[in-house]
Chains A and B, each alone.
Chain A
Amino acid sequence: MDNIDLLGLFLHFLLLWFLAIGGPSTIFPGVHRYIVDVHHLLTNAQFAELYTVAQVAPGPNAMYVTLIGWHLAGWKGVIATTIPLLVPALTLTLLVGHLNERYPNAPIARAVRRGLMPITIGLVFASATILMRTVNHNGYGYLITFVTAAVVLRKSWNPLWLFAGGALVGLVGLV
Chain B
Amino acid sequence: MTKNPERIEGQEAVGALRIPHIDQGAKPKETSRLTATHWELFAAFSRISLSSFGGAIFWARRELVERRRWLAEREFVDIFTLGQLLPGPNVLNLTVIVGHRFAGWSGALAAVAGFLGWPCLVVIGMGMLYQRYGALPNVQHALAGMSSVAAGLLLATVIKLASVLPRHWRPWLFGLVAFAGVGIMRWPLFWVIGALAPGAIFFAWKERD
Residues of chain A whose beta carbon lies under 8 Å from any beta carbon of chain B:
15-30, 33, 37, 48-64, 66-67, 70-71, 78, 82, 85-86, 88-90, 92-94, 96-97, 100, 104-105, 107-108, 110-132, 134-137, 141-142, 144-153, 158-160, 162-163, 165-171, 173-175
Contacts and interface: CB of A to CB of B under 8 A. Distances in A.
20 contacts: A19-B87, A30-B188, A30-B190, A51-B150, A53-B123, A57-B126, A58-B119, A59-B56, A59-B116, A59-B118, A60-B92, A89-B95, A105-B7, A110-B208, A115-B200, A117-B171, A124-B158, A153-B160, A166-B147, A170-B145
A135 B150 contact: yes
A130 B205 CA distance: 32
A125 B154 CA distance: 8
A58 B156 contact: no
Interface in B5-20: 6-7, 9-11, 13-14, 16-17
A162 B149 contact: yes
Nearest to B105: A94
B86 to A, nearest CB: 5
Contacts, number: 376
A156 to B, nearest CB: 8
Interface in B110-126: 112, 115-116, 118-120, 122-124, 126
B2 interface: no
B88 A88 contact: yes
Given A67-B127, A145-B155, A149-B156, A23 B149 contact: no
Contacts of A152: 152-153, 156
A115 B52 contact: no
B88 A33 contact: no
Nearest to A162: B149
A93 B86 CA distance: 6
A96 B97 CA distance: 10
B39 interface: no
B87 to A, nearest CB: 4
Given A78-B120, A132-B151, 12 more contacts: A27-B189, A33-B188, A33-B189, A54-B126, A60-B49, A67-B127, A67-B130, A115-B174, A123-B189, A149-B152, A166-B149, A175-B141
A15 B189 CA distance: 10
B134 to A, nearest CB: 7
Contacts of A114: 171, 204, 207-208
B183 A16 contact: no
A152 B153 CA distance: 7
Contact of B142 (A28, A126, A159, A171): A171
A83 B100 CA distance: 19
B201 interface: yes
Interface stretch (B30-38, B65-73, B77-85): B77-85
